[in-house]
Amino acid sequence: MDQQFNCWLNVRNSGSNMRNVIVLMLLISGVLYGQNPPPADKIKADVVNVQNAVNDVVGLSIPGWGILQGAKGAYLDGYGIVLNVEVAFEPPITPFTPRRNPEEVLKTSTQKRAEVQEKLTNVVKQKLPSLASLAPGDSVAVILNVLITNPAYTPDMPTQIIISAKKQDATHVAVREYK
- pLDDT tens digits along 144-160: 999 988 888 888 889 89
Of 143 and 94, more confident:
143
The upper half-sphere exposure of residue 142, i.e. CA atoms within 13 Å in the direction of its Cβ, equals: 33
Question: Do 17 and 76 reside in the same domain of the chain?
Answer: no
Over range 94-106, report the average pLDDT: 85
pLDDT interval class at 19 (50, 70, 90): low
Domain hosting residue 154, numbered range: 40-178
Q: Is residue 98 located within the same domain as residue 170?
A: yes
Determine phi and psi for 92, rounding to 5 degrees: -70, 150
Residue 131 sits in a domain of what CATH number? 3.30.300
Say if residue 74 is in the same domain as residue 99. Answer: yes
Band of residue 134 on the pLDDT scale cut at 50, 70, 90: confident
Q: How confident is the model at residue 30 (pLDDT cuts 50, 70, 90)?
A: low
pLDDT at residue 28 above 70? Answer: no
Same domain, 48 and 30: no
Give the pLDDT band (50/70/90) at residue 85.
Answer: very high
The contacts of residue 38 (CB under 8 Å, 6+ apart) are 132, 133, 134, 135
Is the same domain home to 102 and 24? no
Average pLDDT for the chain? 82
5 and 84, same domain (yes or no): no
Residue 107's H or E segment, with its range, is helix 102-127
Question: When comparing pLDDT for 127 and 36, which is higher?
Answer: 127
Task: Mark whether 17 and 66 lie in a shared domain.
Answer: no
Query: Which letter does DSSP use for residue 159 in this model?
Result: S
pLDDT at 10: 52
Q: pLDDT tens-digit profile of 48-78?
A: 999 999 999 998 888 777 888 889 999 988 8
What's the total number of domains in the chain? Answer: 2
Q: Tell whether 55 and 12 lie within a shared domain.
A: no
Residues 18 and 62 both lie in one domain: no
Contact 131, 166 (CB under 8 A): no
Q: In what order do the strands lie in the sheet with 80-87?
A: 67-76, 80-87, 139-146, 160-166, 174-178
Residues 23 and 77 in one domain: no
Same domain, 69 and 134: yes
Q: Do residues 89 and 161 share a domain?
A: yes
